[in-house]
Structure 1
Amino acid sequence: MSATSPLSPARRILIASLIALVLLYAFWFGRAHPDTAALLVFGLPPALCAFAAWRRARTAGLWSAVLALAWFSHGVLVAWIRPEERGLAWIELLLAVVIVFAASLPGLRARFKRKRG
């Protein structure tokens, strides 16, 4: 794939979801308790994955999906133990699920593609 070809819809969804997750963390950790370390720990990985996906790195989807499992687990934990942050945790959960599906879609399409001819 050349560098000038447009991004696939799955990759665009992946990038948008990762950026939305970065913005969620910026709001979440900047609002409740301005903690730069927490913002870096939570915000930097999805930002790097979004950049890698935008640059068409081959492993960007894999790492996004792997990290999304941790983000999903974090969302479940926070939704369970902190009722005041439950809404933000649910958004994190939903974004993690979208990231996993967007990262997996090209592989699923290739796997279940009908052979013609």
Structure 2
Amino acid sequence: MSGMRPPATRVLATSLVLIAALYAAWYRDDAHFGAALLVFVLPPLLLLAGVLLRRPSAPLWSGIAALFWFSHGVMYAWSHPELGLWPWAGIALSLAVVFSASLPGMRARFSRNRPPKG
């Protein structure tokens, strides 16, 4: 079981894959598809590599990037309601990234098994 990753890490990895796929599908017919790949698809895939390689800073940077994805989704949901569920899916996935990236730290912070302050 040593190769098994915690559930929060699996959710984070899955969310990063899904957000990359979402943006690839969302911008597939855009005139600037190459730029969209560089700005929206490549970053979650690079962060995914860091998560899978167990880089300690990868969840932090995933959460920071998710703030950008969240803001982008809110902006498009508000200003372009004709886009339907695309921005809402981005909002949901960005929240999944934030919460799954933050969960291990929150558990450690609020754990009852913390050593006493000295």
The TM-score, its normalising length taken from structure 1, stands at: 0.90
1:10 alignment partner AA: A
Q: Residues of 2 paired with 1:8 and 1:41: CA distance?
A: 29
Give secondary structure in 2 for the equivalent of 1:31: coil
Deviation at 1:99, TM superposition (A): 0.4
Give the aligned partner of residue 25 of structure 1: 23
Deviation at 1:86, TM superposition (A): 3.2
Any gaps of 5 or more consecutive residues in structure 2?
none
- Runs of 4+ displaced beyond 4 Å: none
1:102 aligns with 2:100: yes
Give the aligned partner of residue 34 of structure 2: 36
Deviation at 1:37, TM superposition (A): 1.1
CA contact (8 A) 1:53 1:60 kept: yes
Deviation at 1:57, TM superposition (A): 0.4
- CA RMSD, 1 decimal: 1.7
1:35 alignment partner AA: F
Q: Residues of 1 paired with 2:60 and 2:75: CA distance?
A: 23
Give a deviation string over 1:16-70, Cα, whole Å, max 9, x none.
Answer: 0000000001100113546111121111111111111011000010000001001
Give the aligned partner of residue 6 of structure 1: 4
1:115 aligns with 2:118: no
Deviation at 1:89, TM superposition (A): 0.1
Q: How many pairs align?
A: 114
Comparing 77-86 with 63-72, which one deviates more in the overlay? Answer: 77-86
CA contact (8 A) 1:11 1:103 kept: yes
CA contact (8 A) 1:78 1:86 kept: no
